[in-house]
């Protein structure tokens, strides 16, 4: 259960308890002071609490009038609080948020091989946008409820309002069933802790961690990170390369989609190919003539990356193709070469 949901339910429960306590005090007070029956005492308590102004069941004694004045005065504050809580539930969408959280939690429990993004800061938000555009299933953990509330509902992101360094929060996000954790919190120490925890809860999970300080990179790798990204370092290198290698950067921007480019990079593994295209050479696949896409690189299961592979290179089990092409070419490649379940990547 998320913190937002817990907070909303807690308010409702507290308001209900205040009402019940007020009714018990009022009922016992009228029974004790005025010797009313339980029904009459409860009726008087409701009248006093709601301040509707009906006549008393029986004339009140001096002590009863003093008790009523004190009781009504105290209940004014309780009544105002209960009205504000109920208004938030009925008119400000609080009830809808609770049902939405419950539905979202149920959907999260169904996820498998999904991605967990820890932190919805600049880097986390950018990662989420890329994952959404790629059609990947992911869950976002963010401890600042204000940040979550500012995200438009049409984004369709699944949020957990909690601290990602806690075991129970990662478990709620399905870390034991997830394929990858992206740890993008502000503090490097938190990213180290998340890496350790995620690796302990799921030894097979891939962990991509952000590091602000260069010295934190080794610590993250020792903690079990699969990849470590240093945004500040990469940003500085990128700015320098805009001066020293401007055309290389321009080309990289094209294939990364900066500026609305239509060029795309596609990663295709051996198992993604239709059975009839497996164990074939690049010449036999004839990818460029069929789709218009170009095989830029080849990840051999034994030799590693092979750039500009020869036409005689055979695609065998464990191999990965890296293709470059315009969106139309990549779509054509997917439809022709890939299995149906992979066409929607």
52 in any annotated domain: yes
- Residues 267, 325, single domain; the answer is yes
Number of domains in the chain: 3
At residue 115, the pLDDT reads 95
- Residues 119, 85, single domain; the answer is no
- Tell me the per-residue pLDDT of 13-30, one tens digit each, with 9 for 90 and over: 888 899 999 999 999 998
Average pLDDT (212-236) is 93
DSSP for residue 280: -
CATH number at residue 305: 3.30.70.1450
CB 313 within 8 A of CB 281: yes
CATH number at residue 157: 3.40.50.720
Please list the alpha-helical segments (H only) found in the chain.
3-34, 38-50, 62-90, 94-110, 122-133, 145-149, 167-172, 188-201, 216-223, 231-244, 246-256, 282-285, 287-291, 327-337
Claim: this prediction has a pTM higher than 0.85 = no
- Residues 214, 128, single domain; the answer is yes
DSSP for residue 323: E
Please enumerate in sequence order all residues whose Cβ is within 8 A of that of 105, keeping only pairs 6 or more positions apart, or say none: 1, 2, 5, 172
Tokens of 261: 């480019």
Partners of 161 in the β-ladder = 142
- Residues 115, 230, single domain; the answer is yes
At residue 17, the pLDDT reads 92
309 in any annotated domain: yes
278 in any annotated domain: yes
User: 155-169 burial by CB neighbour count: b if 16+ within 10 A, else e?
Assistant: eebbbbbbbbbeeeb
Residue 332 pLDDT exceeds 90: yes
- Cα Dmax for the chain: 105
- Tell me the per-residue pLDDT of 101-142, one tens digit each, with 9 for 90 and over: 666 677 777 889 999 999 999 999 999 998 988 888 999 999
Enclosing domain of residue 199: 111-234
At residue 161, the pLDDT reads 85
- Tell me the per-residue pLDDT of 37-49, one tens digit each, with 9 for 90 and over: 899 888 888 888 8
Q: How far, in whole angstroms, is CA 133 from its chain's centroid?
A: 15
Share of the chain above pLDDT 90, in %: 44
CATH number at residue 53: 1.10.287.70
184 in any annotated domain: yes
Select from 90, 125, 147 the last residue of a domain. Answer: 90
- Residues 18, 123, single domain; the answer is no
- Residues 201, 136, single domain; the answer is yes
Residue 1 pLDDT exceeds 80: no
């Amino acid at each position: 259960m998320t913190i937002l949901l817990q907070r909303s339910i807690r308010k409702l429960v507290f308001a209900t308890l205040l009402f019940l306590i007020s009714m018990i005090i009022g009922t016992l007070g009228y029974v004790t002071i005025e010797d009313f029956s339980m029904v009459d005492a409860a009726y008087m308590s409701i009248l006093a609490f709601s301040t509707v102004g009906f006549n008393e069941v029986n004339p009140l004694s001096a002590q009863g009038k003093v008790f009523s004045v004190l009781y009504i005065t105290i209940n004014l504050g309780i009544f105002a609080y209960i009205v504000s809580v109920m208004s938030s539930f009925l008119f400000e969408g609080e009830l809808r948020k609770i049902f939405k959280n419950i539905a979202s939690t149920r959907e999260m429990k169904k996820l498998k091989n999904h991605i967990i993004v820890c932190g919805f800061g600049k880097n986390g938000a950018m990662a989420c946008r890329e994952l959404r555009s790629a059609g990947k299933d992911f869950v976002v953990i963010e401890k600042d409820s204000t940040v979550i509330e500012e995200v438009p509902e049409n984004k369709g992101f699944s949020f957990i309002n909690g601290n990602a360094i806690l075991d129970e929060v990662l478990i709620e996000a399905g870390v034991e069933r997830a394929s990858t954790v992206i740890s993008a919190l502000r503090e490097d120490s938190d990213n180290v802790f998340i890496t350790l925890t995620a690796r302990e809860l799921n030894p097979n999970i891939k962990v991509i961690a952000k590091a602000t300080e260069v010295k934190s990179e080794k610590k993250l790798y020792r903690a079990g990170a699969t990849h470590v990204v240093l945004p500040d370092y990469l940003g500085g290198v990128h700015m320098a390369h805009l001066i020293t290698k401007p055309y290389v950067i321009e080309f990289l921007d094209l294939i990364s989609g900066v500026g609305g480019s239509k060029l795309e990079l596609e990663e295709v593994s051996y198992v993604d190919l239709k059975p009839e295209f497996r164990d074939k050479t690049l010449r036999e696949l004839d990818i460029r003539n069929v789709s218009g896409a170009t095989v830029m690189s080849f990840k051999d299961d034994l030799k590693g990356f092979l750039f500009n592979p020869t036409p005689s290179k055979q695609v065998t089990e464990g191999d990965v193709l890296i293709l470059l092409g315009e969106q139309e070419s990549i779509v054509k490649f997917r439809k022709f070469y890939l299995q149906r379940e992979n066409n929607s990547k």
